């Protein structure tokens, strides 16, 4: 059974840093690209970042570019999101999502349960 479990969320002051972790199990983690998607309280979904299976390619949303870094450890089946210079508008539930791709087709087929990040003084 595919499982994605996020951890590392919590309360952080504006300007602070936090690292989220997503533990993957039930599939060959090293074969899949992964993503982070967030959802501010009462708002819609916002894609945050992408990393390819081998870590050769990363993409970031403009809203987090320069402040956020995605990485992975295929030996440990872990996905990370390092967030720096956090702002109040970064407050959200952060989901990790597995990306399934066939030529020209992509979709997020499995999602974690989410980890809440609250940025407040």
Residues 31-50 binding other proteins (CB under 8 A) are: 35, 37, 44-47, 50
The span from the CA of 74 to the CA of 53, in Å, is 8
Residues 63-92 binding other proteins (CB under 8 A) are: none
| 116 touches other proteins by CB under 8 A | no
Bridge partners (DSSP) of residue 98 are 34, 110
Nearer to other proteins, 37 or 83 (CB): 37
| 95 touches other proteins by CB under 8 A | yes
Q: Which structure tokens are listed for 36?
A: 């982070």
| 27 touches other proteins by CB under 8 A | no
Q: Please check whether residue 67 is in contact with residue 61, taking contact to mean a CB–CB distance below 8 angstroms.
A: no
């Amino acid at each position: 059974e595919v499982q994605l479990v996020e951890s590392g969320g919590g309360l952080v002051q504006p300007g602070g840093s936090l690292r989220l972790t997503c533990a993957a199990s039930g599939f060959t983690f090293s074969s899949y690209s992964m993503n982070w998607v967030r959802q501010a309280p009462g708002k819609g979904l916002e894609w945050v970042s992408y990393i390819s299976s081998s870590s050769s390619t990363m993409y970031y949303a403009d809203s987090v570019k320069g402040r956020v870094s995605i990485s992975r450890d295929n030996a440990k089946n872990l996905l990370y999101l390092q967030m720096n210079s956090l702002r109040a508008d970064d407050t959200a539930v952060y989901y990790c999502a597995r990306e399934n791709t066939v030529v020209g087709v992509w979709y997020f087929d499995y999602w974690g349960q989410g980890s809440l990040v609250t940025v407040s003084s």
